[in-house]
Amino acid sequence: MNGIHDLGGMEGFGPIAPEHNEPIFHAEWEKRVFGLFAPLSAAGTFCVDEFRHAIERMGAAGYLASSYYEHWLHAFETLTLEKDVLTAEELRTGQAAGGARRLTPALAAADVPAVVARGASARVDKAVEPKFKEGDMVVVKNINPPTHTRLPRYVRDKLGCIDRDHGVFVFPDSAAHGKGDKPQHCYSVYFSAQELWGSKASRNDSVYVDLWDDYLIPA
Partner 1 sequence: MHTHHDDDHEDHVHPHSRPLTDPELRVKALEQVLVEKGLVDPAAMDALIETYETRVGPHNGARVVARAWTDREYRQRLLENGTAAIAELGYTGIQGEDMVVVENTETVHNVLVCTLCSCYPWPTLGLPPVWYKSAPYRSRVIIEPRRVLREFGLKIEDDVEVRVWDSTAELRYMVLPLRPPGTEHLSEDELAALVTRDSMIGVARIAPP
Task: State the Cα angle at 152 between 64 and 140, rounded to 5°.
Answer: 170
Task: State the Cα angle at 11 between 5 and 16, rounded to 5°.
Answer: 85
Pick from 95, 98, 126, 129: which binds partner 1 (CB under 8 A)?
95
Residues within window 1-40 making contact with partner 1, judged by CB under 8 A: 5-11, 13-19, 22, 24-29, 31-40
132 in contact with partner 1 (CB under 8 A): no
135-164 footprint of partner 1 as x/- string (CB under 8 A): ---------------xxx-x----------
**Cα–Cα distances in angstroms (integers) from residue 104 to residues 4, 51, 90, 107, in the given order:** 38, 23, 19, 9
Pick from 84, 88, 92, 199: which binds partner 1 (CB under 8 A)?
92
Q: Which is nearer to partner 1, 10 or 217 (CB)?
A: 10
Residues within window 167-196 making contact with partner 1, judged by CB under 8 A: 169-170, 172, 186, 188, 193, 196
Q: Which one of the spans 60-68, 125-133, 135-143, 176-184 is the region binding partner 1 (CB under 8 A)?
A: 60-68
Pick from 96, 137, 143, 217: which binds partner 1 (CB under 8 A)?
96
Q: Nearest distance from residue 84's CB to partner 1, in Å?
A: 12
* Residues binding partner 1: number (CB under 8 A): 102
Pick from 84, 88, 98, 103: which binds partner 1 (CB under 8 A)?
103
Q: How many angstroms separate the CA atoms of 190 and 203, rounded?
A: 14
Helix (H) or strand (E) segment spanning residue 3: none
Q: Which of 148, 152, 168, 169 is nearest to 160 (CA)?
A: 152
Residues 212 and 185: beta-carbon distance below 8 Å:
yes
Q: Which is nearer to partner 1, 17 or 127 (CB)?
A: 17
Distance of CA 39 to the CA centre of its chain: 18
The DSSP annotation for 24-84 comes to S-SSHHHHHHHHHHHHHHHTTS--HHHHHHHHHTT-HHHHHHS-HHHHHHHHHHHHHHHTT
Pick from 2, 59, 64, 180: which binds partner 1 (CB under 8 A)?
64
Helix (H) or strand (E) segment spanning residue 138: strand 137-140
Pick from 1, 57, 85, 181: which binds partner 1 (CB under 8 A)?
85
